[in-house]
């Protein structure tokens, strides 16, 4: 690129060089090298009324004008600059002319086994991804490349898995059996790529394909297409076709890839997923899968900004057919086309990015700076003949591109430009880089990348010895064999004497070059004469062979006619035999029909008898069931009666035993009651266990009630151990302290029970409500009693007397300290005894209660007897 005013940007400082430049670059002449072709594409303005800083002057020249808002325009240091490109596409250019101008020659080289590199360069938001990918209705460079490749090699493709990657950037040829096994495994697992939903293209309809086709191909070659898709994110290589899920928030968890150099000194991504595709649609599905996993983010300048560099590699592998056009020779030719979408450079002052986006932008800018530094050093080495070290290893992208810049092939670049006035500074930097890249030259690829294997014919000489047209000849021969098989010959290849060499020799159609360089050059005429003489000799030989074949064919025809006459006679005799056999068969058929009709009649009778037998069996089963049911009912009735009688006898026995036990217990109880009566008549008071020793009760008459005292307030409400009154004397309660005044606090609703045992309180003062403190602080009062009544669980009235001392306090007041509780229960001797929950007590419970109270009474009598004088 030759600008009208040469203006090289400032040199970018680089790191210490690592990889040396190849010395053969300096030894090449200008005719052996081609410069890097740079094309410029202008993006349309988002708002047509915005100011533009880029103007298209011609098909190859653009002018960059500084806007009035720029600092250089105000100071006068920056002026309008013109830049020349290999081609310029303005805002109205579509994808198709760009593809046919830039990429179509690279595809032709790819199909002939040569390497090429095409990458899009520009600032963020300039249209690089759109140029490479495009839309469904208007595909970009990558989809159109796939369409053209498969349009050209569609009928010449080898079967899938014939070519297999060897994981070292090369391929090997498998046998048909191994390839068939892998195809069957793939069909079983159904592990195929599915078309993912592309951003914003779910409802746009089917993809529009490109119908362009390259015709200048060797038809005797078998082709296969392999694709890989990787991205370089934060200077780390990741495989976009790997099945491992990608989490954009945690890129450290993804398995990264490394770069290696193969035996042919080509750089490649080690252990990358390489997919063999057999159609353009299948390749588009693989591309869509990788694009879905590619990292994009929203920035201030671009809604979907690529945060990584993507590299889509297309490799076309081809091998020649053998002499008969059936199998492949062990001689591979591999061509590679790398389509690169570089991430856009951006300034933090404009995007205002922070955090992860800022780190991504820094990595992108460093990669682009390294690419520019490598291009500058390459240009300097080529122009000045120096041998400076090119820092390819400073970046993964430049390290991967090393094979193109130091090897053979073509390198082309599309510079995408956003003509907005706000992007003037970034656009000027891009133009300077494109100007410098135009001066870098790449070695021209003269021969295809042929990779030979250890076989006798795997040599260039062997390849030249193969005649053209082998595929067509094999197709003709296969069609002839198929027709012979349809004519009745089971194995035509062995039964029919056919000269295969004649078929393949007839396909020879290559002539020597007929272009005459000068009038004195006799080599062309000599070569043409020699070629014609060879053709004449070959034609004479073929004529002789044809005559021999004709004689052999005539002999075969005579033999076949004689054999045909014999066969006809055999056929006539066989026809007579066939008639006799048919008449016999007709007789047998009639007999069979009669037998079948008789058999059908018998089967109907048998079916009717079977139906009648089934009805009889069902009636018999019903009667058996009725008999069994009657027997079972009789047995159940007998068992129930027997069980009922046994239960009644057992119940009577239990009642009798219980009655005897109760009588014995009542007899023992009566004896104990007599003992208690004698003791009470003797005049000794019985102390009931659990009552207070300082309390007494007056006994006037035999009472059905009983009184006991509980010294501990916690046990108030425990059932008292009552017994029948055995004395008619009036007894006084010892709980009354004569000589002291009592304060009897008795509510108004207290019922007078008129029981024998009543507490005696001397000089008692009765009150119904305690409303005045003087009632307690009275000097005559030293005791306090509170009477309450309530109904117990058995429905009887229970009276409680809470007794305490009235003590004088230091301040002159008084306090009541409760020390005793007396409980009086009023019950009827004929009342039915119940439990606390209201259930009736049985005989055993009542007897146990009586025995318990009698035992306590006897123990108290014995203790009191010891203390009586």
pLDDT value for 215: 84
DSSP for 718-764, please give it: PPP--------S----TT--TTSEEEEE--TT------S-----TTE
* Distance between CA atoms of residues 312 and 341, nearest Å: 8
Neighbours of 271 (CB within 10 A): 12
Q: Which of 106-120, 342-356, 393-407 is the least confident region?
A: 342-356
DSSP for 265-291, please give it: S-EEETT---EEESSHHHHHHHHHHHH
pLDDT band at residue 391 using 50, 70 and 90 as cut-offs = very high
Maximum average pLDDT range among 341-350, 353-362, 644-653: 644-653
Mean pLDDT of 740-761: 78
Of the candidates 369, 381, 373, the residue with the CA atom closest to the CA atom of residue 441: 381
Mean pLDDT of 118-136: 90
Higher-scoring residue by pLDDT: 115, 197: 115
Neighbours of 93 (CB within 10 A): 16
Q: What is the pLDDT of residues 522-537, one digit of tens each?
A: 777 888 888 888 888 8
CB contact at 8 A, 8 and 436 = yes
Say yes or no to pLDDT of 509 above 70.
Answer: no
* Distance between CA atoms of residues 688 and 709, nearest Å: 9
* Distance between CA atoms of residues 822 and 818, nearest Å: 12
* Distance between CA atoms of residues 68 and 428, nearest Å: 15
pLDDT band at residue 834 using 50, 70 and 90 as cut-offs = low
Is 129 marked as binding a ligand?
Answer: yes
pLDDT value for 610: 93
Is 741 marked as binding a ligand?
Answer: no
- Structure tokens of 21? 């430049």
Is 526 marked as binding a ligand?
Answer: no
Is 355 marked as binding a ligand?
Answer: no
* Distance between CA atoms of residues 425 and 347, nearest Å: 10
- In the block, tokens 């010294």 appear at 711
pLDDT band at residue 144 using 50, 70 and 90 as cut-offs = very high
Mean pLDDT of 504-528: 68
Phi-psi region of 227 (alpha: psi -120 to 50; beta: other; left: phi over 0): beta
pLDDT band at residue 601 using 50, 70 and 90 as cut-offs = very high
pLDDT band at residue 98 using 50, 70 and 90 as cut-offs = very high
Is 529 marked as binding a ligand?
Answer: no
pLDDT value for 701: 32
Of the candidates 255, 399, 416, the residue with the CA atom closest to the CA atom of residue 343: 416
Mean pLDDT of 204-214: 82
- Structure tokens of 702? 């035999």
Q: Can you tell me whether residue 206 is helix, strand or coil?
A: coil
Instruction: Confirm or reject CATH 3.40.850.10 for domain 19-198+227-451, answering yes or no.
Output: yes
pLDDT over 90 for what percent of the chain?
Answer: 29
Mean pLDDT of 97-122: 93
CB contact at 8 A, 854 and 676 = yes
Q: What is the pLDDT of residues 815-828, one digit of tens each?
A: 888 888 888 877 76
pLDDT value for 392: 92
Say yes or no to pLDDT of 755 above 70.
Answer: yes
pLDDT value for 686: 40
Say yes or no to pLDDT of 71 above 80.
Answer: no
Higher-scoring residue by pLDDT: 373, 515: 373
Reported as half-sphere exposure (CB side, CA atoms, 13 A), residue 407 has a value of 22
Please state, in angstroms and as integers, the Cα–Cα distance from residue 367 to each residue in 172, 345, 372, 399, following that order. 35, 9, 9, 11
Name, in order, each residue with C-beta under 8 angstroms of 293's C-beta and a sequence gap of 6 or more. 240, 246
Q: Which of 187-191, 398-402, 637-641, 760-764 is the least confident region?
A: 187-191
- Structure tokens of 580? 């006799």
Q: What is the pLDDT of residues 488-503, one digit of tens each?
A: 666 666 555 555 555 5
Name, in order, each residue with C-beta under 8 angstroms of 147's C-beta and a sequence gap of 6 or more. 139, 209, 210, 211, 212, 280
Pairing of strands 87-89, 37-42: parallel
Say yes or no to pLDDT of 385 above 80.
Answer: yes
CATH superfamily for 706-867 is Kinesin-like protein Kif23, Arf6-interacting domain (2.60.40.4330)
Sign of the four-CA dihedral 434, 438, 443, 445: positive
pLDDT value for 239: 92
Maximum average pLDDT range among 139-153, 330-344, 469-483, 696-710: 139-153
Higher-scoring residue by pLDDT: 705, 574: 574
- In the block, tokens 């004709």 appear at 550
CB contact at 8 A, 787 and 761 = no
Higher-scoring residue by pLDDT: 195, 208: 208
Provide the strand spans (E) within 673-813. 706-710, 741-745, 764-767, 781-791, 797-808
Domain spans in the chain, listed from the N-terminal domain onward: 19-198+227-451, 706-867
* Distance between CA atoms of residues 420 and 43, nearest Å: 9
Is 353 marked as binding a ligand?
Answer: no
747-764 as b/e: b if 16+ CB within 10 A: eeeeeebebbbbbbbeeb
Mean pLDDT of 201-209: 66
Mean pLDDT of 225-248: 84
pLDDT band at residue 195 using 50, 70 and 90 as cut-offs = very low
Q: Can you tell me whether residue 389 is helix, strand or coil?
A: strand
Residue 17's Cα: distance from chain center in Å? Answer: 45
Is 128 marked as binding a ligand?
Answer: yes
pLDDT band at residue 348 using 50, 70 and 90 as cut-offs = low
Say yes or no to pLDDT of 842 above 60.
Answer: no
* Distance between CA atoms of residues 672 and 665, nearest Å: 11
pLDDT value for 459: 43
Say yes or no to pLDDT of 450 above 80.
Answer: no
Residue 40's Cα: distance from chain center in Å? Answer: 44
Partners of residue 707 on adjacent β-strands? 824
> Directed axis angle between helix 141-153 and helix 280-293, to 10°?
150
pLDDT band at residue 453 using 50, 70 and 90 as cut-offs = low
Residue 328's Cα: distance from chain center in Å? Answer: 42
Predicted model pTM: 0.55
Say yes or no to pLDDT of 750 above 90.
Answer: no
Is 122 marked as binding a ligand?
Answer: yes
Say yes or no to pLDDT of 850 above 50.
Answer: yes
Neighbours of 601 (CB within 10 A): 9
pLDDT band at residue 761 using 50, 70 and 90 as cut-offs = confident
């Amino acid at each position: 690129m030759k600008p009208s005013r040469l203006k090289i940007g400032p040199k970018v400082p680089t790191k210490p060089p690592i990889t040396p430049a190849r010395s053969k670059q300096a030894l090449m002449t200008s005719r052996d090298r081609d410069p890097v072709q740079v094309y410029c594409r202008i993006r349309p303005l988002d708002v047509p009324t915005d100011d533009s800083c880029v103007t298209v002057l011609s098909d190859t020249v653009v002018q960059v004008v500084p806007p009035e808002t720029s600092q250089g325009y105000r100071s006068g240091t920056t002026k309008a600059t013109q830049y020349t490109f290999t081609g310029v596409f303005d805002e109205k250019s579509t994808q198709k002319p760009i593809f046919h101008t830039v990429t179509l020659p690279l595809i032709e080289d790819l199909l002939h086994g040569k390497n090429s590199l095409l990458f899009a360069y520009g600032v963020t938001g300039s249209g690089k991804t759109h140029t490479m990918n495009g839309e469904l209705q208007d595909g970009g460079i990558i989809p159109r490349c796939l369409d053209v490749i498969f349009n050209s090699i569609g009928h010449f493709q080898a079967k899938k898995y014939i070519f297999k990657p060897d994981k070292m950037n090369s391929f090997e040829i498998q046998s048909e059996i191994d390839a068939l096994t892998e195809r069957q495994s793939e069909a079983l697992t159904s592990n195929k790529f599915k078309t993912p939903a592309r951003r914003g293209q779910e409802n746009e309809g089917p993809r529009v394909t490109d119908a362009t086709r390259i015709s200048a191909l060797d038809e005797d070659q078998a082709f296969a297409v392999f694709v890989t898709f990787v991205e370089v994110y934060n200077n780390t290589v990741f495989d976009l076709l790997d099945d491992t899920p990608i989490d954009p928030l945690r890129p450290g968890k993804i398995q990264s890839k490394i770069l290696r150099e193969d035996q042919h000194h080509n750089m490649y991504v080690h252990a990358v997923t390489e997919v063999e595709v057999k159609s353009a649609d299948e390749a588009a599905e693989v591309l869509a899968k990788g694009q879905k996993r590619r990292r994009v983010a929203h920035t201030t300048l671009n809604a979907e900004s690529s945060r990584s560099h993507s590299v889509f590699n297309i490799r076309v592998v081809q091998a020649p057919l053998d002499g008969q056009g059936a199998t492949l020779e062990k001689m591979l030719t591999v061509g590679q086309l790398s389509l690169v979408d570089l991430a856009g450079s951006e300034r933090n002052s404009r995007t205002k990015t922070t955090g992860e986006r800022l780190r991504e932008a820094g990595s992108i800018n460093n990669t682009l700076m390294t690419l520019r530094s490598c291009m500058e050093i390459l240009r300097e080495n080529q122009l000045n003949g120096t041998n400076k070290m090119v820092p390819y290893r400073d970046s993964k992208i430049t390290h991967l591109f090393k094979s193109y810049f130091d090897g053979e092939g073509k390198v082309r670049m599309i510079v995408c430009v956003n003509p907005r006035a706000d992007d003037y500074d970034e656009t000027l930097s891009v133009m300077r880089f494109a100007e410098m890249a135009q001066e870098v030259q790449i070695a021209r690829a003269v021969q295809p990348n042929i990779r030979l294997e250890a076989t006798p014919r795997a040599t260039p000489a062997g390849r030249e010895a193969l005649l053209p047209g082998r595929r067509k000849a094999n197709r003709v021969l296969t069609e002839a064999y198929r027709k012979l098989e349809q004519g009745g010959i089971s194995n035509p290849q062995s039964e029919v004497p056919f000269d295969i060499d004649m078929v393949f020799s007839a396909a020879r159609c290559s002539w020597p070059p007929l272009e005459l360089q000068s009038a004195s050059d006799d080599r062309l005429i000599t070569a043409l004469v020699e070629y014609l003489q060879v053709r004449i000799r070959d034609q004479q030989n073929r004529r002789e062979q044809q005559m021999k074949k004709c004689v052999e064919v005539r002999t075969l025809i005579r033999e076949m006619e004689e054999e045909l006459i014999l066969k006809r006679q055999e056929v006539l005799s066989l026809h007579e035999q066939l008639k006799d056999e048919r008449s016999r068969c007709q007789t047998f058929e009639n007999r069979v029909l009669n037998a079948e009709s008789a058999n059908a009649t018998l089967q109907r009778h048998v079916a009717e008898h079977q139906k009648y037998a089934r009805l009889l069996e069902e009636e018999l089963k019903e009667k058996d069931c009725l008999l069994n049911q009657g027997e079972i009912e009789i047995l159940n009735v007998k068992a129930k009666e027997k069980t009922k009688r046994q239960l009644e006898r057992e119940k009577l026995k239990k009642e009798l035993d219980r009655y005897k036990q109760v009588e014995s217990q009542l007899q023992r109880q009566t004896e104990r009651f007599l003992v208690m009566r004698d003791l009470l008549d003797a005049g000794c008071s019985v102390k009931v266990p659990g009552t207070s020793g300082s309390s007494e009760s007056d006994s006037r008459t035999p009472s059905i009630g009983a009184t006991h005292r509980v010294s501990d307030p916690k046990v108030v409400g425990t059932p008292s151990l009552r017994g029948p009154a055995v004395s008619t004397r009036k007894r006084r309660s010892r709980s009354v302290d004569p000589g002291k005044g009592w304060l009897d606090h008795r509510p108004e609703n207290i019922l007078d029970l008129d029981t024998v045992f009543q507490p005696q309180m001397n000089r008692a003062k009765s009150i119904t409500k305690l409303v005045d403190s003087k009632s307690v602080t009275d000097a005559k009062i030293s005791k306090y009693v509170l009477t309450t009544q309530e109904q117990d669980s058995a429905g009887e009235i229970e009276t409680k007397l809470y007794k305490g001392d009235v003590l004088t306090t230091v301040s002159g007041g008084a306090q009541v300290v409760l020390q005793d509780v007396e409980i009086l229960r009023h019950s009827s001797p004929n009342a039915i005894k119940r439990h606390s929950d209201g259930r009736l007590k049985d005989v055993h419970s009542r007897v146990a209660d009586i025995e318990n109270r009698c035992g306590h009474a006897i123990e108290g009598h014995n203790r009191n007897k010891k203390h009586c004088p």
